[in-house]
Amino acid sequence: MDFVTPRGRRPSEAPVELRRFGVAARPLEFLGFLLEDTIQTVVLYDSGVLVNVPQPARFALHKLWLANRRPVTMQARARKDLAQAEALLEVLVEDRPRDLEKAWAAVGERREGQIREGLERLEPPLRKRVAGAAGLELDSSG
């Protein structure tokens, strides 16, 4: 199990000790995007546990960003990130296109180009549908 924490402005990628939980967390860039505007759901355990989770559209865009940022040594994980993004995006463009539009609007200029690069890794039909739902213009090549 991976433990992550927002990296914020600190340049180091050294693990951050979380004494309260007895673990060290890896600082992850752009994690704050997932932590904003979370939704509540129930984990099915005993009588249920209420937890906050990222909005699915934000999670999908974060996975696109992450897949594109992984180093060459982690391409197996990058493919997994991309597959997760694709699965979520397929559902979102059909059932919740407005969520994609809202998530894209929250991305911010700094990450927009990086997520667009991740978008380029999607199959053209899905890429066009996601762009349409998010209100994005694609270049003429699709």
Structure tokens given for 137 = 């213009």
Residue 40 in any domain: the answer is no
Residue 123 in any domain: the answer is yes
Rg, Å, the chain Cα set:
16
pLDDT at 137: 83
Domain interval for residue 96: 55-134
Length of the chain: 142
Residue 37 in any domain: the answer is no
Which three-class secondary structure state does DSSP give residue 4? strand
Residue 119 in any domain: the answer is yes
Per-residue pLDDT of the chain (142 residues; tens, 9 = 90+): 678 888 877 667 788 888 998 999 988 888 889 999 999 999 999 999 999 999 999 999 999 999 988 888 999 999 999 999 999 999 999 999 999 999 999 998 878 888 999 999 999 999 999 999 998 887 755 5
* pTM score of the predicted model: 0.85
Residue 9 in any domain: the answer is no
Residue 107 in any domain: the answer is yes
Structural contact between residues 102 and 117, judged by C-beta atoms closer than 8 angstroms: no
Between the alpha carbon of residue 49 and those of residues 18, 24, 43, 44, the distances in Å are: 22, 24, 5, 7
Residue 1 in any domain: the answer is no
Residue 45 in any domain: the answer is no
Question: What is the tally of structural domains in the chain?
Answer: 1
